[in-house]
Amino acid sequence: MKTELVSDRRKFILNIARSAGITALGGFIWSAYVDEVTASQLLLRPPGAIKEDDFLKTCIKCGLCVLACPYDTLLLAKPGDNKPLGTPYFIPRDIPCYMCTDIPCVPVCPTGALDESSVTTDAKLDINVADMGLAIIDSESCIAFWGIQCDACYRACPLLGEAISIKYEKNERTGKHAFMKPVVHANICTGCGLCERACVTEKASIFILPREVAQGKAGDYYIKGWDKDDEKRLENAMEIKTKTEISKESAIDSLNSKEELY
């Protein structure tokens, strides 16, 4: 029988090619998975959490913040939760953040993923400046907007009267009652979720969303003329000029042209 000669060099090249192929396949699956789990935007992080992008880089998934939390608010994402594995988050409708004044979860963080300076005012820890998210009211399902008297969220708010206030409005239907509508003040709300926990409707009509998801942005084009401070936003505005070429054809021709009208 003739033995087939396979040179070492061929074997070597084949091995290199194989390794490269497996590495590429593995890398593809691996990065696709990571991309998938990090895409979930609706996570509420502990107080003092740095920007989500940086948080995912920095959090070492040690669970020290979870251990420090006296209310078992914080959870670590488990396999199957479809969240970035091992990172801390909380579900306010189950257990909200009770806004401890000494914020035990933040100083224990060994990596700075929970940033002490972001919850500090005048060199003292201050949970009231925390920014975990923002409470959003669904005015369609909130029974206070229906005219039924409820101020559960207002009463539950630890920044009573500041983060949520009650706006009185005449109820035209009855003519002699008032609507007591809750209003969230975005600059005060810390996103602790006590309001969401307290909400009496079947599914909470006031709920916490991460600020990037919950808020829009007007941009520099619009300024409140009645607010002197609002003009300060223009200090950093950039000038953008757009030039539109004016058509040289007669206006009537545009009606006769066969281009689509829209």
Question: What residues make contact with other proteins under the rule CB under 8 A?
Answer: 19, 22-23, 26-27, 30-31, 33-35, 37-38, 53-54, 56-58, 60-64, 66-67, 76, 78-81, 84-86, 108, 110-112
Residue 208: CB minimum distance to other proteins, A: 23
What per-residue string of b and e applies to 164-173 under the rule 16 or more CB within 10 Å gives b?
bebeeeeeee
H-type alpha helices, 157-249? 194-198, 211-214
Question: Would you state the structure tokens that stand for residue 13, as one six-digit string?
Answer: 């090249």
Using the minimum distance from each CB to other proteins, give the nearer residue, 94 or 169: 94
Residue 211: CB minimum distance to other proteins, A: 21
In angstroms, the Cα distances linking 192 to 185, 219, 226 are 14, 28, 32
Using the minimum distance from each CB to other proteins, give the nearer residue, 81 or 138: 81
Tokens 């074997």 sit at which residue?
Answer: 11
Residue 37: CB minimum distance to other proteins, A: 7
Using the minimum distance from each CB to other proteins, give the nearer residue, 82 or 254: 82
Using the minimum distance from each CB to other proteins, give the nearer residue, 33 or 146: 33
Residue 257: CB minimum distance to other proteins, A: 50
The one-letter amino acid at 95: I
| Separation between Cα atoms, residue 22 and residue 25, nearest integer Å | 5
